[in-house]
Structure 1
Amino acid sequence: MATIELKNLVKKYDDGFPAVNDVSLDIADGEFVILVGPSGCGKSTLLRMIVGLEDITEGDLLIDGKRVNEVAPRDRNLSMVFQNYALYPHLTVYENIAFPMRLSKNKLPDAELDERVRRASTMLGLDDHLERKPGNLSGGQRQRVAMGRAIVREADAFLFDEPLSNLDAKLRGQMRTQIAQLQRQLGTTSVYVTHDQTEAMTLGDRVAVLKKGKLQQVASPRELYEQPVNLFVAGFIGSPSMNFLPAHESGGRLQTPIGELEAPESVIAAARGRDLVLLGIRPEAFEDFEFVDEALIAHGSRLTVTPSHTEWLGNEQYGYIDYEKDPQVSDVLGELARDLDQDDIPPLIVVTLSSASRIRGGTEAQLWVDTRKLHVFDVGTGENLTRDPERGAELTRQAGEDRARELETAAEARD
């Protein structure tokens, strides 16, 4: 295992464009860090810089405290799992897994190599497929072979470059679980690139969110979700996405296109004195008023709205509420949509409702919104004006403690 330190890394191509722009990140021994962001944000370039497949224009890369900027990829002792598996079609599963060690400068005795291959295949459920060729395997099995090849090297760190993007949704979920279990079992430092924020939130100890080559926020998944630093992070993390609603403060309340909201003083204060702000509201902050516990009612506001339609999903429902577009924020939301690699951000609120709610499209309904969970964003800078840095740091600290206990338990099981 190893620590990996990125110090002010820059990658510029011949045209001078900085694909990676002054990124600094410390990855602890045994940590699972996710690099996430929309297409073109620089996450794969950054991963390739770590493994040595891209030159570093500026800055320093340290592995276990040693600067490795000019060290050849094969001498960094890192294992990379690629998006396209990179398997040899004419070799069996056994030989594909063994291949890196057969090329190694320090060749292992056949008995030790065999032990490593079979240990990896057992971990990955490949024992019954060792004599098969990759062409006879499913996508998930091929991905497990690629992971086996990384494991057998006993590298200091695993690097994953969107390894699940070629799989269907159900198989992605299964493989995601397997990767998480495997990483915890081995305790190997891992860096994982994805554009899928669900993968990022479920796999990572910490998640690094990138936009146009720049690091926006590095934190535990929960801190990113509950305490996003800006509009971009708030809009990228979460599914369904956070709702953004133009608002202004008047008379100690927030005036919005869907109604007036009473809110805690900290939220009101963030909006006070500004002509316009953007409110960020997660869909789950809403509920059908009929299903709100009486003790909670005082912590939110009641709204009268008419949803355009609803979707029943079994365990919950989504309601969709149109509102009148505000030209004062159209440019800001248009730019945010482009940053998020979306066509646009329509003037639409998505709300989560109880599965038993009888609210339906086209009919006036009573909703409740938990205004303790409102975020206020500056329209000009995108800064989250209601972010609580101390609360955010505490969430990430707690996640680190939980992770340390997991690694300790896994190490005891190995022993």
Structure 2
Amino acid sequence: MASITLRNLVKQYGDGFPAVNDVSIDIADGEFIILVGPSGCGKSTLLRMIVGLEDITSGDLLINGERVNEKAPRERNLAMVFQNYALYPHLTVFENIAFPLRLAKHRHSEEEIRRMVTEAARTLELTDHLERKPANLSGGQRQRVAMGRAIVRKADAFLFDEPLSNLDAKLRGQMRSEISQMQRRLGVTSVYVTHDQTEAMTLGDRVAVLKKGVLQQIASPRELYEQPVNLFVAGFIGSPSMNFLPAAVEPDRLRTPVGDIPLAADKLRAAAGRQVVLAGIRPEYFEDAALVDEAKRGHGYAFTAELTHSEWLGNEQYGYISFDPSPEIRRLLENLARDMDAEELRPQIVVTLDAASRIRGGRPAQLWVDTRRVHLFDPETGLNLTRDAEAGQALTAEAEAARKEEINLARERQRVPVQG
């Protein structure tokens, strides 16, 4: 197991472009860190710098407190799990797992190799598949074989480079669960690269969001979701994305395309001195006004709007409201879409409605929005003016405590001898 420290890492290519620009991250022993961001944000480059496949232009990389910038990949004792698993099709599962042990010639006896492979197979629930070939395994089983090679090497950390990107949606969901359970069972430090924010939110203890080589925010998934530091993080994390409404700031309310929204004084104070802000509201913070509990009705604002259309998904439905932004706001949304590697951010509001709602497109509807959940963003800097840093840190601290407890339980289970 290992801690990994990234200290002001920079990767600059010959043309002067910084693919990774001054990134600092402390990864604790046993932590599962996700590097996420759109294509070209530097996440894969950063992973390759950690494993030693990319040179570091400047900054320091430490493994267990030791600087390893100049060490070759084989000297860092890190195991890379690739997108295609890199299994040898002509070898059995046993021989695929044993391969790195056989590479270290004369270091391990046949008896030791068999013992180490058998232990890894038992840990990964591969005991019944040791004589099979990779072609006869499921995607999840192949991933476990790749992990098995890392385990027998006694690697200090696992590095995953978009391992699920070629799988269909159903198999990706199954594999997310398998990888998460394996990581907890083994308690091994893991760094996982993905462009899929769903993977990031479901797998990571903490998630590092990158944009154009610059670290935007690193926090627990819940902190990123509830207390994003800027427009980019708010828009990139969450599906459907956060809604951004242009809003004129009034003494006691926001004037928006869907009407005047009254806000608490502390939120309005955060926007003091600005004539226009972007109000960020997640789709689930809207509801059909007819279905809002009386107890929370006073914490929000009801308004009338016409949905262009709705989508019924069984357990819930989405409604869509279009609005016409100013040219400046339209340009801002277009720029934000480019940053997020999205085709566009349409000038529309997406609302999540209960499956029981009878609201449909093409006619006026009474909706309700929870005004406690509104974030205000500076349209020029992108900063979240209403972020509660203390509340966000508490969410990440809570996730950290849960991580330590899970790893301790996993290690305790490993110490218990197997019966029979």
TM-score computed with the length of structure 1 as normaliser? 0.97
Corresponding residue for 1:327?
327
Corresponding residue for 2:109?
109
Q: Deviations over 1:147-196 (max 9, x none)?
A: 22122212111111111111111111111111111111111111111111
Corresponding residue for 1:24?
24
CA distance, structure 2, for counterparts of residue 408 and residue 182 of structure 1 = 14
Task: Return 262-271 or 127-136, whichever deviates more.
Answer: 127-136
Corresponding residue for 1:180?
180
CA shift at 1:105, angstroms?
6.2
Corresponding residue for 1:372?
372
CA distance, structure 1, for counterparts of residue 73 and residue 355 of structure 2 = 53
CA distance, structure 2, for counterparts of residue 397 and residue 136 of structure 1 = 43
Corresponding residue for 1:14?
14
Corresponding residue for 1:122?
122
Corresponding residue for 2:221?
221
Task: Return 109-118 or 43-52, whichever deviates more.
Answer: 109-118
Q: Deviations over 1:42-72 (max 9, x none)?
A: 0011001000011111111000110000111
| C-alpha contact (below 8 Å) 1:2/1:28 kept by paired residues | yes
Pair 296,55 (structure 1): closer, same or farther in 2 beyond 3 Å: same
1:267-278 to structure 2, matched below 5 A, reads 267-278=267-278
Corresponding residue for 1:43?
43
Query: SS of the counterpart of 1:128?
Result: helix
Is residue 259 of structure 2 the alignment partner of residue 259 of structure 1?
yes
Is residue 277 of structure 2 the alignment partner of residue 280 of structure 1?
no
Query: SS of the counterpart of 2:260?
Result: strand
Q: Deviations over 1:116-148 (max 9, x none)?
A: 222222333333332222233333332222122
1:88-99 to structure 2, matched below 5 A, reads 88-99=88-99
Is residue 315 of structure 2 the alignment partner of residue 315 of structure 1?
yes
Task: Return 342-351 or 88-97, whichever deviates more.
Answer: 88-97
- Partner AA of 2:9 in structure 1: L
Corresponding residue for 1:82?
82
CA distance, structure 2, for counterparts of residue 66 and residue 179 of structure 1 = 28
CA distance, structure 2, for counterparts of residue 105 and residue 338 of structure 1 = 51
Query: SS of the counterpart of 1:296?
Result: helix
Task: Return 36-45 or 127-136, whichever deviates more.
Answer: 127-136
Corresponding residue for 1:393?
393
Corresponding residue for 1:169?
169
TM-score computed with the length of structure 2 as normaliser? 0.96
Q: Deviations over 1:355-408 (max 9, x none)?
A: 100000112110000010001000100000000111111111111111111111
CA distance, structure 1, for counterparts of residue 106 and residue 163 of structure 2 = 28
Is residue 210 of structure 2 the alignment partner of residue 204 of structure 1?
no
| C-alpha contact (below 8 Å) 1:320/1:351 kept by paired residues | yes
CA distance, structure 1, for counterparts of residue 144 and residue 44 of structure 2 = 21
Is residue 250 of structure 2 the alignment partner of residue 250 of structure 1?
yes
CA distance, structure 1, for counterparts of residue 118 and residue 259 of structure 2 = 63
| C-alpha contact (below 8 Å) 1:6/1:25 kept by paired residues | yes
CA shift at 1:79, angstroms?
0.7
CA shift at 1:106, angstroms?
7.2
Corresponding residue for 2:351?
351
CA distance, structure 1, for counterparts of residue 106 and residue 168 of structure 2 = 38
CA distance, structure 2, for counterparts of residue 81 and residue 310 of structure 1 = 41
CA shift at 1:338, angstroms?
0.5
CA distance, structure 2, for counterparts of residue 138 and residue 310 of structure 1 = 37
Corresponding residue for 2:156?
156
CA distance, structure 1, for counterparts of residue 206 and residue 241 of structure 2 = 20
Corresponding residue for 2:62?
62
Q: Deviations over 1:195-220 (max 9, x none)?
A: 11111111111110000001000101
Task: Return 220-229 or 113-122, whichever deviates more.
Answer: 113-122
CA distance, structure 2, for counterparts of residue 351 and residue 230 of structure 1 = 21
Task: Return 117-126 or 304-313, whichever deviates more.
Answer: 117-126
| C-alpha contact (below 8 Å) 1:302/1:367 kept by paired residues | yes
Query: SS of the counterpart of 2:263?
Result: coil
| C-alpha contact (below 8 Å) 2:330/2:347 kept by paired residues | no
- Partner AA of 1:216 in structure 2: Q
Task: Return 170-179 or 100-109, whichever deviates more.
Answer: 100-109
- Partner AA of 1:63 in structure 2: I
CA shift at 1:315, angstroms?
1.5
| C-alpha contact (below 8 Å) 1:140/1:167 kept by paired residues | no
CA shift at 1:267, angstroms?
1.8
CA shift at 1:250, angstroms?
1.9
